[in-house]
Amino acid sequence: MRRIGLMGGTFDPIHLGHLILAETARDELSLDGILFMPTGCSYLKDGRQVADREDRYRMTELAIRDHPGFTLSRMEIDRPGNTYTADTLAQLHREEPDVEWFLITGADAFLMMEHWVRPEEIFALCTVACTVRGSDDRGRLEEAGKTYAERFQAKTALFPLMRMDISSTEIRGRLRTGKSVRYLLPGPVIEYIREKGLYQT
């Protein structure tokens, strides 16, 4: 079976930290590729206004276009209503039954997974692969993995990631105030943001 990492997110906008995370996961977990899945309508964003889904999709497309191991899906972008990871994984299994899926996530999300919508389905359909950065408590993540294994028969994996203080929130703030985002975003994404006037006051 092919081993594919699922990289979901709002990608508002996608930045170099996302790409480094995906490439690190590909290497550390011996994955055959990474599928980027921009969120359509996330129930976790607490009403924050996000860029149009088509703009976020196009920025992701531009960011990964030169990487042969990265692919992109419209599945959540085209799905009406709120986006739930359990629904996405179920659809991926129906469409590609020959793939072993690895859901790539950060420490904060990993520790909260039992509170996601239908976590038992998520754990049944994939291995959850969590990054461990220098500031993360590895022991706490390992304990959470054990709890998920006992409660949900979950398969989890931890992999190291260099510390990167890059966030979409900070990038949006820099764009709103006219500050440079060079070396934070891929060049084609910066050009697209300027052309569309995204994140401007």
Whether pLDDT at 46 is above 60: no
Q: Looking at the domain assignment, is residue 190 inside a domain?
A: no
pTM recorded for the entire structure: 0.94
Q: What is the mean pLDDT of residues 183-198?
A: 97
Mean predicted lDDT score pLDDT of the chain: 94
- Partner residues linked to 128 by β-bridges: 103, 156
Q: What is the mean pLDDT of residues 5-34?
A: 97
Confidence bin at 201 (pLDDT 50/70/90)? confident
Q: Looking at the domain assignment, is residue 53 inside a domain?
A: yes
Containing structural domain, residue 135: 2-166
Q: Looking at the domain assignment, is residue 184 inside a domain?
A: no
Q: Looking at the domain assignment, is residue 115 inside a domain?
A: yes
Q: Looking at the domain assignment, is residue 144 inside a domain?
A: yes
Share of the chain above pLDDT 90, in %: 88
Q: What is the mean pLDDT of residues 51-66?
A: 97
> Under a CB-based contact definition with an 8 Å cutoff, are residues 40 and 83 in contact?
yes
Confidence bin at 49 (pLDDT 50/70/90)? confident
CATH code of the domain in which 57 resides:
3.40.50.620
Q: Which two tokens stand for residue 75?
A: 């599945």
Q: How many domains does the chain have?
A: 1
pLDDT tens for each residue of 113-172: 999 999 999 999 999 999 998 778 899 999 999 999 999 999 999 999 987 889 999 999
Which residue is it, tokens 């976020």?
A: 56
Q: Looking at the domain assignment, is residue 192 inside a domain?
A: no
pLDDT tens for each residue of 79-99: 998 889 999 999 999 999 999
Q: Looking at the domain assignment, is residue 31 inside a domain?
A: yes
- For 46-63, b/e burial (b = at least 16 CB within 10 A) is eeeebbebebbbbbbbbb
Least confident of 39-43, 124-128, 138-142, 176-180: 39-43
Which residue is it, tokens 């910066």?
A: 190
Q: Looking at the domain assignment, is residue 9 inside a domain?
A: yes
